[in-house]
A and B are shown apart, each in its own frame.
Chain A
């Protein structure tokens, strides 16, 4: 059974600081997705990572995928308050059929 673990689950950081959210998964996969959820809203797709070594950047967020280590990172550069949200990673496991397996989510709060 595919397991996906994110850490930290809660992250409080100051504006201007950098930090990384980690997403580890337990079985072979080369497809990983990052989502953002604002309070009371639905999930919005952020990044699609489809191969080992894939790196995607959008504004202050950068996501990468290392399929050999079974690890994806979401790096936040010079955080701003607008990045406060919950971030989920989701993995398309080779033995999971068509289902994505989601991590528990990382609740990020950026303080002024």
Chain B
């Protein structure tokens, strides 16, 4: 089992460019989410999904879009990158029954120039 995978690991963008951060999971978890973590700070929830076809906004959704067409994939789109979006992005998945533990991907380090 690969668990939660994210690509790319590192990315540098210019202001105004768009890109998609990929997140995939093979744990059959209903819940998937995206966080950003800035230096010395905690986690801030961007968007989340409780199943295919269902997405919702977290604390800091502006500038980001998501979709969930399959259980396995939850891509995060930056529409027009800004320097304020320089951050480390983590995807996480969670089974909504049982222990409810949340598992994190390895992260994508994004720099916007």
Contact = CB atoms under 8 A, between A and B. Distances in A.
B104 A43 contact: yes
B74 interface: no
Nearest to B48: A99
B102 A90 contact: yes
CB-CB nearest 8 A-B residue pairs: A104-B42, A43-B104, A42-B104, A102-B43, A98-B31, A105-B42, A42-B106, A48-B99
A72 B106 CA distance: 27
A98 B96 contact: yes
Contacts, number: 47
A31 B100 CA distance: 8
Interface in B68-109: 90, 92, 94, 96, 99-107
Would you call the interface of chain A mostly helix, strand, loop, or mixed?
loop
B42 A92 contact: no
Interface residues of B, number: 23
11 contacts: A31-B100, A41-B106, A42-B107, A45-B102, A48-B99, A90-B102, A98-B30, A98-B94, A99-B33, A103-B42, A104-B41
Interface in A18-46: 31, 33, 35, 41-45
| Range of interface residues on A (Cβ < 8 Å) | 20 to 34
Interface in B2-44: 30-31, 33, 41-43
A86 to B, nearest CB: 9
Given A43-B90, A45-B103, A92-B100, 10 more contacts: A33-B101, A33-B102, A41-B106, A42-B106, A44-B104, A50-B100, A88-B43, A103-B42, A104-B41, A105-B42
